[in-house]
């Protein structure tokens, strides 16, 4: 009896296991008793990465799987098994899309629109706008063997380098949020109108254009730069390290020297501003100066002959000055003694000038006998009174003449007689 129960239990377990295996092997074609919708899609080429069992999606949502792949008339015909009863229309399309970067594929299905009408049974859907799938390995087949080998070597080297700097890569990813914030600030600054990014790009384009045709000179410059950097790296960079250590002190001294130059430079600026007007005046007078120099050629050419003619006169003048030199002290004494009477006569200078005018008038006309001056005595009260003691004691009551007029009064005095 015990053996019978054990046989029953073992048989049941074996039956369940067998059923499970059957379901596992047949599940890719659908579960027994479940409703499905099937449709065929024809592609020119689907690549080796698309196989039976791959997903079928509508708008990115999985709705079924690829049930079978067959060849017909040089095309790959895919039988799509869709879950449930799904409506497909005449304008339905499908295309092969990549599921991941590892090369997995899936089929994207567009059921179409109800306005186009239901898709007849047995109709094969044509590829959509995305066309047929092209695998990455097929794309790389256009490259020759050396190029593919070099690319593979590059990828392997990059992979090893990335693996060796995993910690650095982790630090970079950890700092990415701050870097992105800084990048956002930089992008905002570049997009601001004040940045004039378009002007900067145009200037950079112009600058890069200046290098066109100068590749050889640039190569030589890079070579010379390598020599310069090699010289800086001598003794493990000790000289440049010492220079950098002394740089702050040198910069402080340079700042102090530049500060001390501010006042002299300001004075120079003021001087230049003051000289600007003079320079402008010289510029305006340049035509006159040029004309003067041009016209002065002929007179200057005659200077030597004039100098030769003036030489004897200058020698005689030198002798005359030497002869007159002893007379100079006496002339100076005479002028000193004449200062007092000249001071007295200075206010009467108009009367003195008038006297000479009268004398010149008197001597200007002569008669037929050759007489140029005639003196007549006019008798009047002044002839008797005069200016002597009698005139002083007995002034003429009918005359208003002052014998000693003040400066300017002689011309205003009137007498009963006339004469000069």
Of the CA atoms within 13 Å of residue 211, those in its CB half-sphere come to: 9
Cα torsion 166, 168, 169, 172 to 10°: value is: 160
Q: By the 8 A CB rule, do 121 and 40 touch?
A: no
Task: Please choose, from the candidates 388, 386, 414, 417, the residue with its C-alpha nearest in 3D space to the C-alpha of residue 401.
Answer: 414
Choosing from 307, 334, 354, the residue where a domain stops is: 354
Q: Is residue 324 part of a domain?
A: yes
pLDDT in tens, 300-358: 777 777 777 778 877 777 887 777 778 778 878 888 887 888 777 778 777 778 777 77
Burial of 149 (0-12, 13-18, 19+ CB in 10 A): exposed
**Eight-class DSSP state of 388:** S
- Tell me the mean pLDDT in the region 94-121: 77
pLDDT at 1: 44
* Parallel/antiparallel/unpaired status of strands 105-110 and 124-125: unpaired
Residue 163 binned pLDDT confidence (cut-offs 50, 70, 90): confident
Mean pLDDT of the chain: 75
Q: By the 8 A CB rule, do 194 and 200 touch?
A: no
- Tell me the mean pLDDT in the region 193-221: 84
Q: Of 395 and 346, which is predicted with more confidence?
A: 346
pLDDT in tens, 271-293: 888 888 888 888 888 888 888 88
Residue 168 binned pLDDT confidence (cut-offs 50, 70, 90): confident
Q: Is residue 332 part of a domain?
A: yes
Q: How far apart are CA 228 and CA 231, in angstroms?
A: 5
Residue numbers of the domain that contains 56 = 33-140
pLDDT at 166: 81
pLDDT at 359: 76
* Count of Cβ atoms closer than 10 Å to residue 43 Cβ: 22
Q: Is residue 127 part of a domain?
A: yes
Choosing from 354, 369, 388, the residue where a domain stops is: 354
Q: Is residue 420 part of a domain?
A: no
SS3 401: coil
Q: How many domains does the chain have?
A: 2
pLDDT at 385: 55
Residue 103 binned pLDDT confidence (cut-offs 50, 70, 90): low
pLDDT in tens, 1-60: 445 655 655 666 666 556 655 544 455 555 444 678 888 888 877 766 677 778 888 887
pLDDT in tens, 221-251: 888 888 888 887 778 778 888 888 888 888 8
pLDDT at 10: 63
Q: How far apart are CA 302 and CA 393, in angstroms?
A: 75
pLDDT at 417: 42
Burial of 33 (0-12, 13-18, 19+ CB in 10 A): exposed
Choosing from 86, 114, 140, the residue where a domain stops is: 140
Q: Is residue 338 part of a domain?
A: yes
Q: Is residue 241 part of a domain?
A: no
Q: Is residue 271 part of a domain?
A: no
pLDDT at 128: 61
pLDDT at 396: 57
Q: Is residue 392 part of a domain?
A: no
373 φ, ψ to 5°? -140, 130
């Amino acid at each position: 009896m015990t053996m019978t129960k054990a046989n029953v239990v073992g048989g049941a377990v074996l039956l369940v296991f067998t059923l499970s295996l059957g379901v596992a092997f047949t599940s890719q074609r659908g579960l027994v008793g479940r409703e499905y919708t099937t449709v065929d899609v024809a592609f020119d080429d689907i690549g080796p990465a698309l196989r039976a069992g791959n997903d079928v999606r509508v708008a990115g949502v999985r709705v079924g799987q690829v049930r079978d792949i067959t060849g017909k008339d040089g095309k790959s015909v895919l039988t799509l098994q869709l879950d449930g009863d799904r409506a497909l229309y005449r304008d339905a399309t499908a295309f092969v899309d990549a599921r991941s970067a590892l090369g997995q594929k899936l089929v994207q299905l567009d059921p179409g629109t109800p306005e186009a009408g239901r898709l007849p049974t047995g109709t094969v859907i044509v590829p959509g706008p995305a066309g047929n799938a092209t695998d990455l390995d097929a794309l790389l087949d256009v490259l020759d063997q050396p190029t593919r080998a070099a690319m593979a070597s590059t990828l392997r080297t990059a992979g090893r380098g990335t693996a060796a700097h995993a910690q650095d890569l982790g630090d970079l990813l950890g700092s990415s949020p701050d870097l992105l914030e800084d990048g956002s600030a930089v992008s905002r600054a570049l997009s601001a109108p004040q940045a004039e990014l378009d002007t900067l790009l145009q200037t950079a384009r112009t600058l890069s254009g200046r290098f066109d045709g100068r590749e050889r000179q640039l190569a030589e410059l890079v070579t010379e730069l390598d020599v310069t950097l090699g010289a800086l790296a001598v003794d493990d960079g000790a000289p440049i390290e010492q220079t950098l250590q002394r740089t702050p002190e040198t910069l402080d001294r340079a700042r102090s020297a530049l500060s001390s130059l501010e006042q002299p430079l300001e004075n120079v600026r003021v001087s230049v501003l003051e000289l600007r007007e003079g320079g402008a005046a010289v510029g305006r007078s340049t035509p006159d100066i040029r004309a003067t120099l041009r016209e002065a050629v002929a007179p200057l050419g005659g200077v030597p002959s004039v100098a030769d003619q003036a030489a004897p006169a200058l020698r005689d003048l030198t002798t005359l000055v030497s002869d007159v030199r002893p007379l100079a002290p006496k002339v100076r004494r005479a002028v000193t003694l004449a200062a007092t009477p000249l001071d007295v006569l200075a206010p009467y200078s108009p009367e003195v000038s008038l006297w000479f005018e009268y004398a010149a008038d008197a001597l200007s006309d002569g008669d037929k006998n050759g007489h140029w001056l005639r003196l007549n005595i006019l008798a009047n009260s002044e002839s008797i009174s005069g200016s002597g003691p009698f005139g002083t004691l007995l002034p003429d009551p009918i005359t208003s003449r002052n014998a000693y007029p003040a400066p300017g009064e002689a011309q205003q005095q009137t007498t009963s007689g006339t004469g000069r």
